[in-house]
Structure 1
Amino acid sequence: MSTRRIAALALTGLALTACGTKADTASAPVAGPLPTVVPAGTELRVGDQNDLLQTLLHASGQDKDLPYKLTYGKFQGGPAILEAFRGGSLDVGIVAETPAIFAQAARQDVKVVGVVQSSKDAVHIVTSPGSTATKVADLKGKKIAYTQGTTFQPALLRALKNAGLTPADVTLVNLTPLDTPAALASGQVDAGLVTEPLGTKYLVANQDKGAHELTDDKGLTSGLQFLVAPGAALRDEARTAALRDLSARFTRAELWLAGHGQDWVQAYFVGVQKLPQSVGEAVVANNGKPTVPDYPTAIAEQQRVADLLAQAKAIPEALDVSAEFDTRFEAVQQAAKNGG
């Protein structure tokens, strides 16, 4: 698919979404303090990715004595979670920074209720077997796989910009994260953007055939991960009280991970992903220790990503990303960070 065709599809999708129902129109932040009492019988439907949040809450002990019920749905990528919000089937989900920007650009009523930041080196650019490319500039005229509407999109734009290239200098191929390794292995694309553990799994299987990581693919992402919730959940006192509690537990769980890397390797990468311990250890080392930034810091990082997407016309117009954040949750996270 050509660069021009992909860009047209992206803009068309945003235009169609923005013309959706009134319920999809982004609203101002909900006023007033967060409710603290969770009524009996309250349930939160969670959009999880690769069982990550569910495993993290359990491994850290943060799923004990919940005053509400959590039910998990499995999703591949943030855009799928946003679509489930639109259909009314989820109350909260975990996404990277880019889906939140696309939601705002499409005027979808979604707010950030939890923030964590990990390594900015979490996105990797790997090659197909036999490729001689060693840096991004070597990909001029080549096919590059990425996933539109996810953190891979601004990461690719930043990589090309750093290398003195533009999207017109390459052929962009929009694939799901799970489809990218197979396309690489078969030579359908020359390079692709991946995160862990898919990146390590792909290289372990194909490095003896010449597949490798580019040397200048560092610092391509913000490292931000968000808990996000649709406006419908935040206008419901029972679910908002549950989200307040979940945001605190999410914060404590991430800080637990920062100090228990080996336990996380065993619980998630070995136990859930069924990967060798050595691979899990490599992934944890690559991802770095998560931190909980204050919201002004997170907003500034998010603004840089949105500006990059706007400059590339991947979104229709420039955005003020502060509108994405329900800032009432900053105090919740900071209290949890400080032992509350």
Structure 2
Amino acid sequence: MPSNATRRTLLAGAPAVAALALAACTDEPSGPVLSADADLPTAVPKGTKLVIGDPSQQLAFELSGLVDLLTFEYEWANISGGPKSSEAFRARSLDISSVADIPPIHATWTNLPIKIVAAAGRVDPLEHPIYDLGVAPGVDVTTVEDLRGKKIAFSPGQAQGALILRVLDSAGLAKEDVELVELPSTADTYSNALAGNEVDVAPIGGTQVRSYLNKYGSDGATTIPHGLRDDPWTLYAPVEVLEDADKAAAIAEYVRLWGAAKLWTRANREEWINAWYVEHEGLPYEDGEYLFDREGEPDFPETWDETIERHQETIEVVAAGTGNEPFDAATIYDRRFEPLVAEGIAEYGEGGNA
């Protein structure tokens, strides 16, 4: 079992990344070199350690008991999302992280070699979107075609920014047909920008949708659906980490339990709402219920063919919108890991018998 020191949770933000970087200065890959076409090792050597940026899954692993099946040493880093993950990857202070589909694309364009090792989405994704399009008070937008000429919040290199480019494409609009206002998609930035009429439209998700309408609906604030899939969820890791045979074996072990941990959260609704949304995120129970129901059921594809095809479409749209060169989506997937999530679900189901 890992020691208490290796179980510690590292705080989010720049201090966490800096602390990780300091801790990782001497923690370079030390296992045997594993070529990209070699089979994954089936056993994790003693002393192997991973730093994992997957905050909600950390809690799911712990509550479900699946964490006790991990045979390697681990540190949980409170890091997710593309910018922080990329920074930590470059500092060699993070081994694997949980993100949407845009960070792996952006990493590739910024010369950070990565591979996706797990992929998931949502059942009925159009019924359970991550984002809606928030519309500022007094702005007349009822369909995506109405976006022409509007000021739209835009965050390059993040899922929200890519969604806007995809929405424009689906509406037959070009970047030049709107005014993209570059804003970081952090906390309530977009909601505040909408309320202050700094932008006309912005993608907002989670409790921001409900709180935005509650606060500003009486002033004329609205939201509309964007009508696209926005549910990709991946685990990715630097290529140099996957070239370390010992770390690759540990990542395979983690990936194998990843889906079962997520299914545990869906099978234990009240416990998960209280543990994650209320205690961890500090939300009222009613907001936790809203988010739980909005999320819907997870979908773990047994093959990645359609996932890669959709990722390719996203790459093409985002490349056209940002001036980057498109590339083959298949090159950022490590298909050696493809069957592992389904194998883990078959063995551990909802994680309750770990």
- The TM-score with structure 2 as length reference comes to 0.80
2:305 aligned to 289, 296, 310, which one? 296
1:338 aligned to 325, 336, 346, which one? 346
Q: Mapping of 1:155-166 within 5 angstroms? A: 155-166=163-174
Give the whole-Å Cα distance in 2 for the aligned partners of 1:324 and 1:177: 25
CA shift in 2, pair 1:273/1:205, >3 Å: farther
In the TM superposition, what is the alpha-carbon distance from 1:298 to its structure 2 partner?
Answer: 1.6
Give the whole-Å Cα distance in 1 for the aligned partners of 2:305 and 2:271: 31
Match for 2:94: what amino acid? L
Residue pair 1:110, 1:231 contacting (<8 A) in 2 also: yes
Give the whole-Å Cα distance in 2 for the aligned partners of 1:123 and 1:307: 21
Q: Mapping of 1:153-232 within 5 angstroms? A: 153-178=161-186, 179-214=189-224, 216-221=225-230, 223-232=231-240
Give secondary structure in 2 for the equivalent of 1:131.
Answer: coil
Give the whole-Å Cα distance in 1 for the aligned partners of 2:88 and 2:215: 34
Give the whole-Å Cα distance in 1 for the aligned partners of 2:81 and 2:314: 18
Per-residue displacement from partner, 1:45-97 (whole Å, max 9, x unpaired)?
A: 1224xx32322322333222432233233336313212221221110001101
Give secondary structure in 2 for the equivalent of 1:339.
Answer: helix
When structure 1 is superposed on structure 2, of 108-117 and 191-200 the one drifting more is 191-200
CA shift in 2, pair 1:78/1:47, >3 Å: same
Residue pair 1:125, 1:213 contacting (<8 A) in 2 also: yes
In the TM superposition, what is the alpha-carbon distance from 1:315 to its structure 2 partner?
Answer: 5.0
Give secondary structure in 2 for the equivalent of 1:75.
Answer: coil
Alignment RMSD: 2.2
In the TM superposition, what is the alpha-carbon distance from 1:29 to its structure 2 partner?
Answer: 6.8
Consecutive unaligned residues of structure 2, counting only runs of 5 or more, are 1-33, 349-354
Aligned equivalent of 1:139: 147
When structure 1 is superposed on structure 2, of 289-298 and 272-281 the one drifting more is 272-281
CA shift in 2, pair 1:284/1:72, >3 Å: same
Residue pair 2:57, 2:261 contacting (<8 A) in 1 also: no
Report % sequence identity.
30
Give secondary structure in 2 for the equivalent of 1:248.
Answer: helix
Per-residue displacement from partner, 1:149-177 (whole Å, max 9, x unpaired)?
A: 12222311222233332211211122222
1:241 aligned to 242, 249, 257, which one? 249
1:37 aligned to 29, 38, 43, which one? 43
Give the whole-Å Cα distance in 2 for the aligned partners of 1:200 and 1:69: 40
CA shift in 2, pair 1:315/1:70, >3 Å: farther
2:286 aligned to 278, 284, 287, which one? 278
Match for 2:53: what amino acid? G
Per-residue displacement from partner, 1:3-43 (whole Å, max 9, x unpaired)?
A: xxxxxxxxxxxxxxxxxxxxxxxxx9712111132233322
Give the whole-Å Cα distance in 1 for the aligned partners of 2:99 and 2:217: 30
In the TM superposition, what is the alpha-carbon distance from 1:269 to its structure 2 partner?
Answer: 1.5
Residue pair 1:307, 1:318 contacting (<8 A) in 2 also: yes
When structure 1 is superposed on structure 2, of 147-156 and 322-331 the one drifting more is 147-156
Give the whole-Å Cα distance in 2 for the aligned partners of 1:286 and 1:103: 29
Give secondary structure in 1 for the equivalent of 2:236.
Answer: strand
Match for 2:314: what amino acid? V
Match for 1:196: what amino acid? G
Aligned equivalent of 1:92: 96
Residue pair 1:34, 1:240 contacting (<8 A) in 2 also: yes
Aligned equivalent of 2:4: none
Give the whole-Å Cα distance in 1 for the aligned partners of 2:222 and 2:65: 38
In the TM superposition, what is the alpha-carbon distance from 1:306 to its structure 2 partner?
Answer: 1.3
2:87 corresponds to 1:70: no
Match for 2:200: what amino acid? D
Give secondary structure in 2 for the equivalent of 1:213.
Answer: strand
In the TM superposition, what is the alpha-carbon distance from 1:338 to its structure 2 partner?
Answer: 1.9
In the TM superposition, what is the alpha-carbon distance from 1:234 to its structure 2 partner?
Answer: 0.8
CA shift in 2, pair 1:313/1:177, >3 Å: closer
2:56 corresponds to 1:46: no
CA shift in 2, pair 1:315/1:246, >3 Å: farther
